[in-house]
Amino acid sequence: MITLKEALTKSKEELDSLKVEMIEGAKESSLNAYIDFASSGDGIPILIKDNIQVKDWSITSGSEILQGYIAPYNATVVENLKSKGFSLFGRANMDEFAMGSTTESSFYGVTKNPYGEDRVPGGSSGGSAAAVAGGIAIAALGSDTGGSIRQPASYCGCVGMKPTYGRVSRFGLASYASSLDQIGPITQNVEDSAILYDAIASYDEKDSTSSDLPLKPIFENLNGDRKFTIAVIDNYISEASESIQDAYAKTIELLKEAGHTIIHKNMTNTKYDISTYYIVATAEAATNLARYDGIRYGNRIEGKNLEETFRNTRAQFGDEVKRRVMLGNFVLSAGYYEAYYLKAQKVRHLIRDEFNKIFEDADLILSPVAPTVAPKIGSTHDPLEMYKSDMYTIAINLAGLPAISLPVAKDSEGMPIGLQLIGKAFDEQSIFDGALSLEKVVNYTK
């Protein structure tokens, strides 16, 4: 598949025939990455996750409850893409309401990993990552609440970028956890990631958490020759598998050879990351998903009375969504609010402070994306095990920071290993420049 940068040089006719080829390719593919071939407008085709509104397209967030729902307006990212010569092309599969790490909780069935079809593509933006890695999409949008762009990108050997909270408008993104969600690009390489980030980032008065700090274009200022001070978190790495620890150590050497300075740091609050995230995220999710009651949103399944109608309608949620709605309502309920939710909000500040402390000495932090490579389909039975696999990504959302994951190596079975560079809030330029430098030195090939 051509890159996004190459696509910028193609004529309308060439892009139109590419779209025809893409549909054929996706139909022949066994990945189950696309759930629809909807298409809107002329220009370079960008695949869209099923939780981002494209006017007149179906949008279901991978859920049964939203079957048949048609988006009444465009998300701001979609308006931005259209105004910059991109077109919207195809719906990508995802975990139901973006809750998950494997895309197995989708109503449409699991997407497969192009590196091994018995493996998950990661999640929740698994369709986006598998399509880009599998050569059936040029580039895609995903959303990242606790790793859902970076982790599937890492499992599928492509580049995934989560912007600083507030940089990309959430208007028109189906909310999971509003204080953590960000839309971002999944692409074949770092340059393409910068191109797509530039296209979607904007201040938006329709999103009250949107930032109006000045926004400079990244791609035209990309500089892979900048030298950075990069922190590695020594006490953070031991929980990763051997192949990931090995790739991490080799990457550190490559970064040193490329002229970057490596400094060693520790983080003390990491043991609280998962509990903090799963309290904040489920509390916000329970609130956001309350609207799917068959009256305001969601396919209604009538009962004898209103309560039974609510119950029947909400029974359409899958198990993972139900689990989180219950957990979220529990941590918000009287008597538990202070013990869980309020405490989690305090710990969230500690986590952010710890990152800021490291950023007093470092420009970037290098970290694994996930503790393992992509697991086998059907192998993640215990939800707590799945939550643990988010250990390297969720703190970045809790702190609102930008991060980019890119492939650096493969394990002995040929599965991709990704690492991420985390930056200071609103310093997207440095994570892209650092990633470009890293991409050059690791020279990853599919």
**What is the set of active-site residues?**
49, 124, 148
Q: Which of 100, 126, 368, 423 binds ligand GLN (CB under 6 A)?
A: 100
Q: Which of 45, 62, 126, 146 binds ligand GLN (CB under 6 A)?
A: 146
- Residues that bind ligand GLN (rule: CB under 6 A) add up to a total of 13
Residues 351 to 390 in contact with ligand GLN, rule: CB under 6 A: 390
- What SS3 class is residue 97? helix
In a 10 Å sphere around its CB, with 0-12 CB exposed, 13-18 middle and 19+ buried, how is residue 332 labelled?
Answer: middle
Length of the chain: 446
Q: Residue 19: what are its φ and ψ, rounded to 5°?
A: -65, -40
Nearer to ligand GLN (CB atom), residue 74 or residue 124: 124
Amino acid (one-letter) located at 325: V
Q: Which of 76, 103, 111, 145 binds ligand GLN (CB under 6 A)?
A: 145
Residue 390 CB, nearest approach to ligand GLN (Å)? 5
Residue 15 CB, nearest approach to ligand GLN (Å)? 30
Nearer to ligand GLN (CB atom), residue 176 or residue 426: 176
Stretch that binds ligand GLN, among 81-89, 146-154, 254-262, 348-356 (CB under 6 A): 146-154
Residue 365 CB, nearest approach to ligand GLN (Å)? 19
- What SS3 class is residue 87? strand
What CA–CA distance (Å, rounded) separates 251 from 398? 26
**Residue 148 found at the interface with ligand GLN (CB under 6 A):** yes
**Residue 281 found at the interface with ligand GLN (CB under 6 A):** yes
Residue 122 CB, nearest approach to ligand GLN (Å)? 9
* Residues 202-231, mask of contacts with ligand GLN (x by CB under 6 A): ------------------------------
**Residue 400 found at the interface with ligand GLN (CB under 6 A):** no
140-144 and 34-40 strand pairing: unpaired
H or E element in which residue 421 lies: strand 416-423
Q: Which of 50, 96, 104, 144 binds ligand GLN (CB under 6 A)?
A: 144
Stretch that binds ligand GLN, among 145-153, 202-210, 302-310, 377-385 (CB under 6 A): 145-153
Instruction: Please give the structure tokens belonging to residue 18.
Output: 């590419």
What CA–CA distance (Å, rounded) separates 164 from 399? 9
Residue whose beta carbon is closest to ligand GLN? 148
Q: Which of 33, 44, 98, 231 binds ligand GLN (CB under 6 A)?
A: 98
Q: Which of 32, 60, 111, 124 binds ligand GLN (CB under 6 A)?
A: 124
Residue 176 CB, nearest approach to ligand GLN (Å)? 6
**Residue 101 found at the interface with ligand GLN (CB under 6 A):** yes
Residue 152 CB, nearest approach to ligand GLN (Å)? 9
In a 10 Å sphere around its CB, with 0-12 CB exposed, 13-18 middle and 19+ buried, how is residue 271 labelled?
Answer: exposed
**Residue 176 found at the interface with ligand GLN (CB under 6 A):** yes
Residue 311 CB, nearest approach to ligand GLN (Å)? 25
Residues 6 or more apart whose Cβ sits within 8 Å of residue 125: 49, 92, 94, 98, 140, 142, 143, 144, 148, 149, 152, 153, 160, 186
Residues 6 or more apart whose Cβ sits within 8 Å of residue 353: none
CA end-to-end span of the chain, whole Å? 13
Do 95 and 321 form a contact (C-beta atoms < 8 A)?
Answer: no
Strand order in the sheet with 229-233: 34-40, 86-92, 44-49, 140-144, 182-187, 159-162, 403-410, 416-423, 364-368, 229-233, 261-265
Do 416 and 115 form a contact (C-beta atoms < 8 A)?
Answer: yes
Residue 101 CB, nearest approach to ligand GLN (Å)? 4
Nearer to ligand GLN (CB atom), residue 55 or residue 323: 323
Nearer to ligand GLN (CB atom), residue 89 or residue 176: 176
Q: How far is CA 47 from CA 60, 78, 138, 219, 436, in A?
A: 15, 11, 8, 20, 23
Nearer to ligand GLN (CB atom), residue 43 or residue 121: 121
Interaction site with ligand GLN (CB under 6 A): 98-101, 124, 144-148, 176, 281, 390
